[in-house]
Structure 1
Amino acid sequence: MAATSRTTTRSAASTSRTRKVPRPDLATVRRARRINRTLAETYPQARAELDFTSPYELLVATILSAQSTDKRVNQVTPALFRRWPDAVQLAGADRAELEELIRPTGFFRAKTDSLLKLGRTLTEEFDGEVPRTLDELVRLPGVGRKTANVVLGNAFGVPGITVDTHFARLSRRFGWTTSKDPDTIEAEVGALFEKKDWVMLCHHVIWHGRRRCHARNPACGACPVSHLCPAFGEGETDPAKAAKLVREPRG
């Protein structure tokens, strides 16, 4: 089921923690943007793979996705949102019932703590609504900068870069950064692209990382940007063998 949001674009997110980086050279910018254009052509259906219909649902689903898979979370959230359809009702959820429902996503006790605190905080401080700024979102229980950017970009249309494990890995392979620090990666990659492209860039890169550019044994020979990638050759380069490595994300 395609993930959609009924919410319109609002004000831009705060970038108070975004680091300033040197201006990248033109050749690097051009190559990076060619990679993004090619990935956009390869994955025209790229989107957030968590199912949601509101900012609240996306926020909860993203918290549940930590150390889990989007498919697993999508199996759990329909029942969760029927039972607790908004932050006010989530705040009053029975702990044991919530734990049992989200158990398949892993780390269910810690996630239950975060969700109960999240419901209370949204109810008491934001009238039950999900805030629309980065500074406010990262103060919520269980919400870091990555989760905040997921919500801002996909629920509110606010440009942001989501540095998950796939995005970080591919950014280094593409030569966009050498850093392993998420804030530095966000700043350095952001400098290569126009802000209007940030959200879809993340979808393109993450889809590619899940399907072809794996952490181990990437499918280099089946990669649409192999001619642009400095890391070509880290994985299987034979086209026939590489094609067998292409996969859909596991459930």
Structure 2
Amino acid sequence: MDEIFSILEIEVKKYQVPVVDLIKVQTGSAFKILVATILSARTNDRTTAEVSSRLFNFVDCADDFDKFSQDEIADLIYPVGFYKNKAQYLKQLPRALNTNFNGIIPRTIDELITLPGVGRKTANLVLAQAFEIPAICVDVHVHRILNRIDYIRTKTPFETEMRLRKKLPKKYWLRVNTIFVMFGQYLCRPISPKCEICPISHLCARRSVKK
């Protein structure tokens, strides 16, 4: 894994930075990182970036969502995936934060997943990106690639997270999602990965790669 990370740290510099990483650099706001992460579910980075930029022209903190109806929020975040559901989550966010956390974004997984629209993947990403607290965010790319290279053998993203917590050196926790998401989007794709130009092909078992 040391060799894989050293290679991929160089490789992914060729690629576009994921939108949540970009928002972290641009704003440093835990609130905006949380919102962008909620918006990014089932949505490509380009759409998430465009919608986040538009939304943050009107919303700077959670309480700003109280200024808009749920339908108005839905209009602001269209066309992200499941935008009507996400509008409901964002409309509920101020009350959830103010009632349970004094308006402050919490810093533990157990607390974050009580917020509307926040699951373990989102919670882990917020911890890592907003607070730089070691956390392992497992999305489809992380799950697929780490099984593909035969570093782990798991059936679900949750199993992958739990296995990585035991096996992956902690020094990689903050970067594992960013690196493997970019690698998975641009080269190690779900179907027809570009194995012939892959810089870690000599370290990969190619499990479940058929073409």
Q: Structure 2 length as normaliser, TM-score?
A: 0.90
Distance change in 2, residues 1:183/1:189 (3 Å):
same
Structure 1 residues not aligned, in runs of 5+: 1-31, 237-251
Report percent identity of matched pairs: 36
Correspondence for 2:138: 163
Q: Kindly provide the amino acid, as one letter, of the partner of residue 40 in structure 1.
A: E
Correspondence for 1:202: 177
* Aligned mates of 2:202, 2:208 — CA distance in 1: 11
With a CA cutoff of 8 Å and minimum separation of 6, indicate the structure with the bigger relative contact order: 1
Q: State the shift of 1:108 in Å.
A: 1.3
* Aligned mates of 2:142, 2:208 — CA distance in 1: 19
* Aligned mates of 1:101, 1:223 — CA distance in 2: 39
Distance change in 2, residues 1:67/1:172 (3 Å):
same
* Aligned mates of 1:64, 1:229 — CA distance in 2: 32
Larger Rg computed on CA atoms: 1
Alignment match of 2:165 (pick from 182, 190, 212): 190
* Aligned mates of 1:58, 1:230 — CA distance in 2: 35
Structure 2 residues not aligned, in runs of 5+: none
Distance change in 2, residues 1:180/1:201 (3 Å):
same
Which secondary structure state, in structure 2, belongs to the residue aligned with residue 167 of structure 1? helix
Q: State the shift of 1:128 in Å.
A: 2.0
CA contact under 8 A between 1:137 and 1:148: conserved in structure 2?
yes
Distance change in 2, residues 1:36/1:59 (3 Å):
same
* Aligned mates of 1:109, 1:146 — CA distance in 2: 20
CA RMSD of aligned residues (A): 1.9
Correspondence for 1:36: 5
Distance change in 2, residues 1:55/1:45 (3 Å):
farther
Q: Kindly provide the amino acid, as one letter, of the partner of residue 162 in structure 2.
A: A
Higher helix share: 2
Which secondary structure state, in structure 2, belongs to the residue aligned with residue 98 of structure 1? helix
